């Protein structure tokens, strides 16, 4: 069955890989981002199956207006992938900038809420649909400097599970995808505010996950039989695992 797929944060990283993967498999894709010119090559490749929308997911009223006024064949969304998100900074909470915290909350939490709220009523009315939210292992396993970023992803995890509880009795599905270390997406460059050396150091000597790994996992989840719901997918590169508890010892 071919789907109408909405991808947020579609202009780079995970989102761009997912647009390509779903589009290349014959699905119609609505690609949302703030830099849609990055998708011009994809538009040439996918043609009328791709709809580009320059939209900031943090703007709730505009998201509602645009997504609820889509025309055929993009109006009946089968799958929304809430992918837009970011991390800013990796210092301790007492040295963090409040503006960075606000941006992460507005994007990682409110962006998910804004887009979900816009498409969910139609999915329930049609009794057909799938919501896939991009969380992170940081939402379950804390690390120094992860403060608000990890907290926003913990929200995404719990919101996904609560949606499942609310939607019991419908045919709708909800999944939270929670990747670990993933390279080549621009995520760390954004986190370190353009400091390429600091970003590259994170992945030194590591074979991390790739955007294609995430896109293929999302595609697998989205194409399971209708009676199957994958609640949560937690995934890491083989070279990443879990640290012992940190102990600060008095001298």
CA distance 136 to 156: 9
Total-model pTM: 0.95
Q: Look up the domain containing 193 and give its range.
A: 4-235
CA distance 213 to 232: 16
What CATH number is given to the structural domain containing 68? 3.40.50.720
Q: What are the tokens at 185?
A: 């997406």
Rg of the chain over Cα atoms, rounded to whole angstroms, equals 18
- The residue whose two tokens read 């997918």 is 233
Q: Per the domain annotation, does 124 fall within a domain?
A: yes
The conformation of residue 82, written as its DSSP 8-state character, comes to E
Structure confidence at residue 64 (pLDDT): 96
Q: Per the domain annotation, does 250 fall within a domain?
A: no
Residue 19: helix, strand or coil by DSSP?
Answer: helix
Structure confidence at residue 49 (pLDDT): 94
Structure confidence at residue 36 (pLDDT): 80
Task: Establish how many alpha carbons lie within 13 A of residue 221's alpha carbon, considering only the half-sphere containing its beta carbon.
Answer: 28
User: Which helix (H) or strand (E) is 115 found in, with range?
Assistant: helix 111-126
CA distance 129 to 226: 10
Q: Per the domain annotation, does 188 fall within a domain?
A: yes
Catalytic residues: 149
**Spatial contact of 157 and 112, defined as CB atoms under 8 Å apart:** no
pLDDT tens for the chain, 251 residues long, are 899 999 999 999 999 999 999 999 999 999 999 888 888 877 888 899 999 999 999 999 999 999 999 999 999 999 999 999 999 999 999 999 999 999 999 999 999 999 999 999 999 999 999 999 999 999 999 999 999 999 999 999 999 999 999 999 999 999 999 999 999 888 888 898 888 898 888 899 999 999 999 999 999 999 999 999 999 999 999 999 998 898 999 98
User: Which helix (H) or strand (E) is 234 found in, with range?
Assistant: strand 232-235
How far lies 230's CA from each of 21, 168, 173, 226, in Å?
A: 19, 14, 8, 11
Helix 13-24 / helix 211-222 crossing angle, nearest 10 deg: 50
Q: Per the domain annotation, does 21 fall within a domain?
A: yes
**103 — phi, psi (to 5°)?**
-65, -40
Q: How many domains does the chain have?
A: 1
Q: Per the domain annotation, does 242 fall within a domain?
A: no
Q: Per the domain annotation, does 241 fall within a domain?
A: no
Q: Per the domain annotation, does 251 fall within a domain?
A: no
CA distance 4 to 6: 7
> What is the sign, positive or negative, of the torsion defined by CA atoms of 90, 218, 211, 203?
positive
Q: Per the domain annotation, does 240 fall within a domain?
A: no
Q: What are the tokens at 68?
A: 């609820």
């Amino acid at each position: 069955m071919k789907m109408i797929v909405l991808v947020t944060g579609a202009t780079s990283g995970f989102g761009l890989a997912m647009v390509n993967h779903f589009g290349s498999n014959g699905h119609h894709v609505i690609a949302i981002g703030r830099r849609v010119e990055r998708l011009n090559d994809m538009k040439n490749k996918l043609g009328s199956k791709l709809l580009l929308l320059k939209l900031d997911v943090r703007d709730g009223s505009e998201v509602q207006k645009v997504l609820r006024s889509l025309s055929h064949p993009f109006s009946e969304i089968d799958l929304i992938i809430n992918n837009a998100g970011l991390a800013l900074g990796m210092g301790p909470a007492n040295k963090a900038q409040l503006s960075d915290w606000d941006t992460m909350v507005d994007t990682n939490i409110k962006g998910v809420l804004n887009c979900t709220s816009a498409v969910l009523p139609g999915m329930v009315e049609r009794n057909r649909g799938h919501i896939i939210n991009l969380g992170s292992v940081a939402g379950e396993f804390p690390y120094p400097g992860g403060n608000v970023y990890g907290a926003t992803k913990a929200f995404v995890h719990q919101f996904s599970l609560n949606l499942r509880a609310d939607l019991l009795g419908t045919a709708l599905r909800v999944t939270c995808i929670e990747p670990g270390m993933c390279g080549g997406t621009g995520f760390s460059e954004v986190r370190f505010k353009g400091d390429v050396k600091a970003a590259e150091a994170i992945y030194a000597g590591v074979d991390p996950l790739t955007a294609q790994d995430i896109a293929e996992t999302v595609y697998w989840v989205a194409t399971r039989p209708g009676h199957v719901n994958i609640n949560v997918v937690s995934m890491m590169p083989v070279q990443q695992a879990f640290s012992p508890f940190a102990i600060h010892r008095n001298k």
